[in-house]
Structure 1
Amino acid sequence: MICCGVIGDDEAGAWLRSALGESGDDIEGLVIDAQRPTTVKRSLVGLAQHRHPQKMFRVDVESESPLPDAVEAQILEHVRAHLGSVDVVCLEDYGKGVCSTALCRAIIEESTAAGVQVLVDPARSVDWARYKGATAMTPNRSELEEALDRSLGEGIPDGSAATEMLEGLALDALVMTLDRHGAILVRPGEEALHVPTTARSVYDVTGAGDMVLAALAAARANDLPWPLAVEFANAAAGLEVEVFGTQPIPLARVRREIMLRQAPPQSTVRTPEELGVELEVHREAGHRIVLTNGCFDVIHAGHVAYLREAANLGDVLVVGVNVDEEVAKQKGPDRPVYPLEQRLAILAEFRCIDYLVSFPEPTAHELIKAVMPDVYVKGGDYRPEEINEHDIVTELGIELQVLGHRPGLSSTDVIERMAEDG
């Protein structure tokens, strides 16, 4: 990330430069103006019910004076110097005198001429004509109401007001955020699109608007179409308000949030791609991941005991299930008794299983590499070195656990007894 803006010649400015520099960001565009302080916002926090942090009020140290011409020229020069190496310019206007009309116009015009998208988080109580010709803008409901000088009512608006602003400013897209109602996306010549959000407990709205713009920029820089980009930004902002203060949200959590919206929440069955995303979240949380696999055809008490024991070896149990073709190769042409879809449906009822995934290979080698568990579990009376997957788990540094076989409890035994009984 390349940072351009203004800071004071003070302790707060030095801390900001240091923090951004340690994160690997380019900070040459942070111009020092000794005549103004670095903006600092201090929130005084109390404890609701003696345990929940609750913001009581905020004290801001800042200047709203316009920048000197020389400082403004330096900022523009830094922006201009990097237009050939960026995909998106984020214009965050807080209405504090930094983003003058002249500076906004110059950044938008020069970025557009260079083929760079400009996304704007607009300031309240300024003339939005300064943003004309930008790629997109992300006002919230109240900001748009103030700019148009009319109420948009409660609930989800129809998009006409957003379209009016879109057309008036010649934007390619306008995203109006609606808090718990999600967002409205409008584009030239298209019907307004409502992008809903997930109901959640709002803990702290600090940084939510900034998160929308940042996530939208990341999505557009990676060529996501506008509807998906808004969905991505919506999910990121929703996660932001669930944490206290301004905190970075890991990409894996945003991707998992989107996937959970698209899949039934009660389902434990995942594609390999979905599983990979969700396991990243568990790893970040320090959870111990356990993997086992098998045919799981004709479920019996032995399976129940085995899966419970495997689940007790960690925090998250992933179960790989052989596809029908592989079961037939391993068990014979009359197997499986139950096709894959039914076997998955039965296993999905097990509370001890967190995730189910099918795999087509004859061994679990590829599955192990994809899941990268902390523990790999196998059932049967084997020595560890006799297991097909011994070499791969040893190579990857994965713990191997062998859970003993229970005599008389196997699918083959059950099927044979059923055949004998007619």
Structure 2
Amino acid sequence: MPTATPLLTLLNGWSPPTVVVVGDFMLDRYLFGNADRLAPDAPVPVLDVQRTDDRPGGASNVCVCLAALRARVRAVGIAGDDEPGRALRAALQTAGVETAGLAADGDRPTTVKQNLVGLAQHRHPQKMFRLDFEDRTPLPGAAVERMLAAVDEAIDGAQAVILEDYHKGVCTPELCRGVIERAHAAGLPVLVDPAAIADYGRYAGADAITPNRTEAERATGLSADDPSAMAARLQAEHGFGHVVLTLDRHGALLRSPDGVEETLPTRARSVYDVTGAGDVVLATLAAAVAQGAAYADGVRLANLAAGLEVERSGVVPIPLEELYLEAMEEAAADRGKVRTLQELVPELAAHRHRGRTVAFTNGCFDVLHAGHVGYLRSAAATADLLVVGVNDDQSIRRLKGPERPVNPLEDRLRVLSELACVRYVVPFATDTPLSLIEAVQPSVLVKGADYTRDTVVGASFVEARGGRVELVPLVEGRSTTNILRRIGGG
């Protein structure tokens, strides 16, 4: 059977981590409407606002991105004791983020990015303007101490810490140093998304830093055309463990603690909106590293997630199921169609996440013939994709006698995999496919018309879940038994 790629191996073994996110928590407020006329009193477009949408932004978006990857997320930061602050907390809590560490500050307003998005004839949304409501004053010492106390509580039982700095006054040098010291004392890695500032000294000693090309150029004074030199200088000057320099369409450069560098490419995309891509990279990398993944694999996964994010309008978290499906489809050409049940189940979950229906049928398929092909084509027509369960050699011997099968399991799997109508082939060793059907959870259970609904194994299970049983016609006179009888008598 084909070997899973490193990304699929990582995703198959995904163990949701606990991650602490510290930094600048913001609310992204979107005003959507038609913008198909100019104002009569000035040469400016008019936005007829039709709806408002609040989304977590900044460190808040990192939290939501982590939650979409099934992480347990603890937020540590400050939001105003105001309407946007309450809306932000509600949005985070709806996403499953723990907000006990997100303090309410009556003297500091919640940072709000108000985006005006216009549509022409109800289509083609484009950002027209952005209004920022914020206070960038550095946090006073007492507020920093309160945040560090919240960090002490939040890191208990966590696997990683994220520092998300948007240069809004929260991530002061004292706060950053305190977070890194506390995390390291607890044995936790710290991953930093730096602000667009010239001095990265406040992040010194972090396990990973993830600047983009422009941010690294500003922090090093070197040319953005030489990412290797920028990564080396950042590491040498500030003692970062890993430097992950994101390079937009060129992927990312990873520099490891030993100075070894690797450029990790990304697949070409139709870029719609790059907003939030850096947050997705940081969240995905942190979630992977938190469960022991190699940084190179974490960056590859982060590249994949960012590629999906930039194809959408606005800031959109990428669910684990969608990430899995993307990794699966990238690897499909090399992996073929044969899967173990353990590999198959998460792949089917990813397909369902995109709204695809699954049909299942099973059999020995010992000597493949025209009857089999017609039957499988009919089965495939009942859903978006067809899974075929195949009896292994031992179960066939129990069912049909010691002379069968004629063709060993490996050959039967290979032949079935060549049929265009078949999406997956999975072997099973039991005398009936019931346990396999329960794991696959098909929308449609297919058997031949020589069965009745009452004799179809798994029918009750499928129907109880809202699925259906389909009995498809067989090609008359075509069967493995008849073929073997003719061969034996010839």
Q: Report the TM-score when normalising by structure 2.
A: 0.77
Deviation of residue 9 (structure 1)? 2.5
* Distance across 1 between alignment mates of 2:181 and 2:488: 80
Q: Distance in 1 between matches of 2:376 and 2:109?
A: 61
Matched, 1:247 2:319: no
Q: Secondary structure at the match of 2:333?
A: coil
| Structure 1 equivalent of residue 472 of structure 2 | 403
1:225 aligned residue: 294
Counterpart of 1:177 in structure 2: which amino acid?
Answer: T
Structure 1, unaligned runs of 5 or more: none
CA distance in 1: counterparts of 2:93 and 2:398, whole angstroms: 57
SS in structure 2 of the partner of residue 318 of structure 1: strand
User: Pairwise mapping of residues 295-306 of structure 1 onto structure 2 (< 5 A)?
Assistant: 295-306=364-375
What letter corresponds to residue 56 of structure 1 in structure 2?
M
**2:83 alignment partner, one of 5, 8, 11:** 11
Aligned with 2:441 (options 364, 372, 385)? 372
Query: Do the aligned partners of residues 398 and 47 (structure 1) sit closer, same or farther apart at CA in structure 2, a change above 3 Å counting?
Result: closer
In structure 1, the partner of 2:428 is 359
Structure 2 gap segments, 5+ residues each: 1-72
Letter in 2 for 1:193: E
- The CA deviation string for residues 73-132 of structure 1, in whole angstroms up to 9 with x for no partner, is 222221123232322111000012111111111111222122222110001124101100
Kindly report the root-mean-square deviation, in angstroms, between the aligned alpha carbons of the 2 structures.
2.7
Distance 1:418 1:21 in 2: 68
Residue 39 of structure 1: aligned partner? 111
CA–CA separation in structure 2 for the residues paired with 1:320 and 1:147: 57
> In the alignment, is the contact (CA less than 8 A) between 2:345 and 2:440 conserved in 1?
yes
Query: For 2:483, what is the secondary structure of its paired residue?
Result: helix
How far apart, in 2, do the equivalents of 1:334 and 1:200 lie?
A: 53
Structure 2: how far apart are the matches of 1:349 and 1:54? 45
> Could you say what secondary structure the match of 1:85 adopts?
coil
Q: Note closer, same or farther for the CA distance 1:87–1:51 as it changes in structure 2 (3 Å cut).
A: same
Q: Secondary structure at the match of 2:101?
A: strand
Partner of 1:267: 336
Task: Output the CA distance in 2 between the equivalents of 1:101 and 1:250.
Answer: 33
Question: Which residue of 270, 274, 278 corresponds with 1:201?
Answer: 270
Q: Is this contact kept in 2: 1:259–1:274, CA < 8 A?
A: no
Query: Is 1:67–2:139 an aligned residue pair?
Result: yes
Q: State the match for 2:6 in structure 1.
A: none
Asked if the contact 1:104–1:131 (Cα under 8 Å) also holds between the matched residues in 2, the reply is: yes
Name the SS for the 1:356 alignment partner. strand
CA distance in 1, matches of 2:136, 2:287: 29
| Distance in 2, Cα, partners of 1:126 & 1:110 | 25
- Aligned equivalent of 2:260: 191
The 10-residue stretch of structure 1 (269-278 or 286-295) with the greater mean CA deviation from structure 2: 269-278
Three-state SS of the structure 1 residue aligned to 2:445 is strand
Work out whether residues 31 and 71 of structure 1, in 8 Å CA contact, stay in contact via their aligned partners in 2.
no
Q: How many angstroms does 1:51 deviate by?
A: 2.9
Report deviation, 1:336.
Answer: 4.3
Cα shift at 1:153 = 1.7
% same residue? 49
TM-score (norm. length: structure 1): 0.89
Match of 2:186 among 95, 114, 138: 114
Distance in 2 (CA, whole Å) between partners of 1:26 and 1:298 is 57
Aligned to 2:158: 86
Q: Matched residues in 2 for 1:411 and 1:77: separation? A: 72
| Count of aligned pairs | 418
Amino acid at match of 1:132: A
